[in-house]
Homo-oligomer: A and B are copies of this chain.
Amino acid sequence: MATGRTHRPATRSRGIPEATVARLPLYLRALTALSERSVPTVSSEELATAAGVNSAKLRKDFSYLGSYGTRGVGYDVEYLVYQISRELGLTQDWPVVIVGIGNLGAALANYGGFASRGFRVAALIDADPAMAGKPVAGLPVRHTDELESIISDNGVSIGVIATPAGAAQQVCDRLVAAGVTSILNFAPTVLAVPDGVDVRKVDLSIELQILAFHEQRKAGEEPGQGARTAASRSGSARPAAAAARDGRKGPDGDVPAVMPA
């Protein structure tokens, strides 16, 4: 059948487990904040708290990068920021294209965290001719016809898809054919890509559904009090709570999406 690949070649390269890689950005953010406050060193305990994980996990994660800490003291903030940035490949600048400039695409284009950390929006692309030339976040929107040339001219290897579900696969195919090897997909569809291409997805409705699942459980076993009904009020129910972690996968098509491309 259709490829359906969404895998990664096994990231065998040199250790570092996926779960750890997924947390490095979190550590980096916390460290950057400390750095701005000119904090020289942090303990695994403090940093872990700031990043929302537990210290054992953090130390284990860092152990995969090397021994960057000092026993009895902690980690040097600046040094760690550098090491993690390097590990994540953020010491270089990655040009990115965003396809589908609707509300979502515009929001992404305006997103500050973007430009600030290793990424640069090389171009905004939309299929609507009426959008062409219109400035969004300081950049003129380019028409889809130019997609291929934009990618090769700028050496873009990362693409963001913010089109409606119906256009996603088509856009994806063109991006890949033009040389993009990493895709961040906001459209609620399972993208089929050849081996060697990484796809990560962000799906609003999936997240909401997962929350609804847990919410339902809470309502179902409300302690004492009577009246509950879905969404009555009642603060915390049973700590049947949570696990907010990240689960990745590829959704499939249906749900109307967010914007025109």
Contacts and interface: CB of A to CB of B under 8 A. Distances in A.
A40 to B, nearest CB: 16
Contacts of A249: 22-23, 26, 51-53, 116
A141 interface: no
Contact of A113 (B29, B237, B255): B255
B111 A233 contact: no
Given A4-B52, A26-B249, 11 more contacts: A25-B206, A29-B255, A30-B254, A52-B249, A90-B212, A92-B240, A107-B259, A157-B215, A157-B233, A184-B211, A193-B229
Given A103-B107, A207-B200, A152 B240 contact: no
B254 A12 contact: no
Number of copies: 2
Given A95-B240, A235-B181, A230 B8 contact: no
A232 B13 CA distance: 21
B212 A158 contact: yes
Interface string A133-173: 00000000000000000001011111010000000000001
A179 B233 CA distance: 5
A232 B91 CA distance: 16
Contact of A119 (B32, B179, B180, B208): B208
Nearest to A81: B252
Interface string A232-251: 11111111111111011111
Contact of A89 (B19, B158, B213): B213
B188 A251 contact: no
A198 interface: yes
A52 B250 contact: yes
A74 interface: no
Nearest to A242: B93
Interface string A188-199: 101001111111
Contacts of A11: 214, 217, 242-243
Contact of A215 (B26, B94, B210): B94
Contact of A94 (B1, B6, B239): B239
Interface string A109-133: 0111111111110000000000000
